[in-house]
Every structure is written in C-alpha cells, then in structure tokens.
Structure 1
Amino acid sequence: MSTPYALPHPGLNARQVETVERLFAATEALLDEMPYDELTIRLIAARAGLSPATAYTYFSSKDHLFATLYWRLVATAEGPELAGDPRERLRQVVRWIAALVGASPALATAANKSLLGGDPAVAELRLAIGRHFVGLFAEALGEDARPGLVRTLEYVLTGAMVEAGAGIVAFDDLAEELVAAVDIVTG
C-alpha cells in the first residue's frame, strides 16, 4: 500500500488543483458553520460552486474528503523542534499534535468520525496518519523506541483523539492530558 498524497498532488493539472482547493476551502468554511452530520458532498460542492459529480470525481464520500483534508494538515505541518531527553521530546510531540488538531477542532472532530468509518478510500489515509504519528514518537524516543512503547503511545493518542472528537475531553485540555499520559507510560 502506498502512502497517500497530500492533495493536490502531482498528476493533477492546474484546473484540477484549483477544483480540489475550492472543495477544501468550502469544506473548511462549512465545518465552521454546521456539524459533521449535516454536511454532505452536495452541500460542499454547492459552496464550492461545483456539481456533486465533480466533487465525487476527487472524493468517494464526505469521509474521504474530511480524512484527506486532515491528512493534508498533518502531512504538511512542520514538525516540532525536539530537545531534551526522550520523555521531554515525547511531551513536545504530544503538545505539538494537540496544538495542530486544536487549531481546527471542527476539522479534527469531522476527521475523527471519518477515520473511524468504513470507506475503503479512508483506510489508506487512516494508516498514513497513524504511521506519521508513530514516526514522530519513534523519533522522539530515539534509541529508546521499543515497539511496545511506541504502540502504547499510539493507543494513548488514538484514545485521546477519539475522546476529544466525541467532546469528552476539550481540545484545549488535550495537550496536558496527553503529557500526563506520556509521563505515566514512560514513568
């Protein structure tokens, strides 16, 4: 399985790139106006000034669109500056992740729901996002990056993201919740 691209990707012509960007902009605007459950490809396409058929040319579902937009956010963000011992570097990583998703809670919440869905187009994105975060954990741990520890940190992050997306934990509290979890796991 290949790593998904962060759209727009090479191979799209300028007009196609503009179309995808319009869909992304419309999605972000609508996410600030209404909840995930009320959004449809039809509404997003209309906001972008496109037909639903055009939107479906690029995205198989709204979940595919939200997950792709989230992947783009994650894949293109400049990673955290890491300094200190492995535990401190892990704290820096989870604070960075919390700040990244907390900057756009509506997108994070929609992506959370989308990534948990069954759309086959989303499965590859879900794996890529997970690999990205696991890579950050492994980098932070350096030579202390035991597979079991990295996997446990992945579980902690996944659970925290689900709780934040479900409104159980506020996105504003996510960083400190994750830091506390890192301290317990590495303590």
Structure 2
Amino acid sequence: MSELSSTGVEATRRRLTEKQADTVDRLTAAAVAVVSREGYSGTTIRLVAAAAGVGTATAYTYFSSKEHLISEVYWRRLVASPTPDLTDADRATRVVAVLRQISMLVAHDPALAQAVSSSLLGDDPDVKHLRVRIGREIRHRLADALGAPDPDSLAMLELIYAGAMLQGGMGLLSYAQVGDLLEVSARRLLAADTRP
C-alpha cells in the first residue's frame, strides 16, 4: 500500500474544484488570523470555520483537525516560497540561503510559529502525510543547494534545521537567532569541504 493511501487521503490531497479551492484558501487564511488572535490552544476548527464564513462541518470536510489545518498552512507557505537563486554562490552560501528562507516562513508571527511546531509534532495521520511532504521538500531544497550528492551532510543539515526550528517554536530562541544558528552550524559543517 502506498504511503499516501495508508494515511487516509483527504480533500486537500486531491484535485479541488475552483469552489473547493476557494474554501480551502479561506480556511487557511482564517486559521492564520485565529491563531494570531487566540494562540494555538485557543484555536479550534469551529472558530476558524466561523472566521472563514463556512460551516464547521464543511471545514472538517477538508481538515481532520486543527493540527492538520495548521500544518497545511505551513506546507502552502513552503511550496509557495521560491528557492533562492544563488547559482554562482559557493555551496555553503547556497545552503545558508535555503536554511534562512525556510526558517523564516512563520517568523513574523510567533503565535503561528508555535502553532506550526506543535501541529507538526502531532500524531494525526493527515499531519503525518504533510510532515512527509514537508520533509521531502526541505530535503530536496537542501540537496540542490549542496550540489553534489552528499548524504551525510544532508542528514546533518536536516537535523540541525529540525533542532533549531523546534527551539524557535518553543520560544527558546527568536527566529533571528534561529537563522544565525543555522548559518553558523551550516558553515562549520561545510567548512572542510571546498566544493563549489
């Protein structure tokens, strides 16, 4: 059985009609507003649905939980952000640019950042599906930035990124500090490597 079918395919993973896509867009936008106002613990699907102008049952048609909805917000931001174009830069600079970009996707809204961290750690099967997709996208971007195949460096960069983002999401570091920590860590990791 494929990973996609084993996690329970929901509406946000199938082709949507224009009307359905509009509803999902309204729900994800409303989720950001509600999380910013109510915080993660105060956010509910009911509040998000009301803010989006749809019924709660309709919201549940697309999202199985608030964790699923908030994870979808992050996924959409990630895939909508273009990869930095640093073709002529050295590999460490390319990696740092990717790490900074993906670490700043929710940095401007601390409540949303905390909500994304909490949501992505959830055990909802729909979140698991998105976590896999997010992980693949981040891995792809880092691998492209590294250039030549380098599985050890790629694995270490993924761990550095995940740890730094978790600390940012828990409020232990500001997102400016997360970006700086990611840069220092990536540059140290890649310092011995002189590949362009």
TM-score by length of 1: 0.90
Aligned residues of 2:120 and 2:127 also touching (Cα < 8 A)? yes
Equivalent position to 2:103, from 95, 98, 102: 98
Q: Where does residue 7 of structure 2 map in the other structure? A: none
Offset at 1:109? 2.1
Give the alignment partner of residue 146 of structure 2, picking from 123, 126, 141. 141
The one-character-per-residue Cα deviations of 1:104-130 (angstroms, maximum 9, x if unpaired) are: 443332111111010001111101111
Q: Distance in 1 between matches of 2:43 and 2:106?
A: 20
**Is 1:79 aligned to residue 86 of structure 2?**
no
Deviations 1:40-67 (A, max 9, x none): 1111111112221111000000000000
* 1:131-185 residue CA offsets vs partner (Å, 9 max, x unmatched): 1111111111111x31111011000000011100000010122211110111222
What is the 5 A alignment of 1:7-22? 11-22=15-26
| Aligned equivalent of 1:110, options 115, 119, 137 | 115
Equivalent AA in structure 1 for residue 93 of structure 2: E
CA RMSD of aligned residues (A): 2.1
Gaps of 5+ in 2: 5-10, 192-196
The one-letter code sitting in structure 1 at the alignment partner of 2:120 is L
- Identify the residue that residue 94 of structure 2 maps to in structure 1: 89
After TM superposition, where is structure 1 displaced by more than 6 Å over at least 4 residues in a row?
Answer: 7-10
Residues of 1 paired with 2:102 and 2:25: CA distance? 24
Q: Is the 8 A contact 1:70 1:107 kept in 2?
A: no
Checking the alignment, whether the CA contact within 8 Å between 1:60 and 1:121 is kept in structure 2 is: yes
Q: CA deviation at 1:31?
A: 1.7
- Residue 30 (structure 1) aligned with residue 34 (structure 2): yes
1 CA distance for matches of 2:18 and 2:137? 28
Identity %: 40
Q: How does 1:116-135 map to 2 (within 5 A)?
A: 116-135=121-140
Distance 2:155 2:183 in 1: 16
Which consecutive residues of structure 1, in runs of 5 or more, have no partner in the other structure?
none
CA distance in 1: counterparts of 2:39 and 2:181, whole angstroms:
25
Kept in 2, the 8 Å contact 1:8–1:21? The answer is no
TM-score, with structure 2 as normaliser: 0.86
Structure 2 CA distance for aligned equivalents of residues 118 and 184 of structure 1: 34
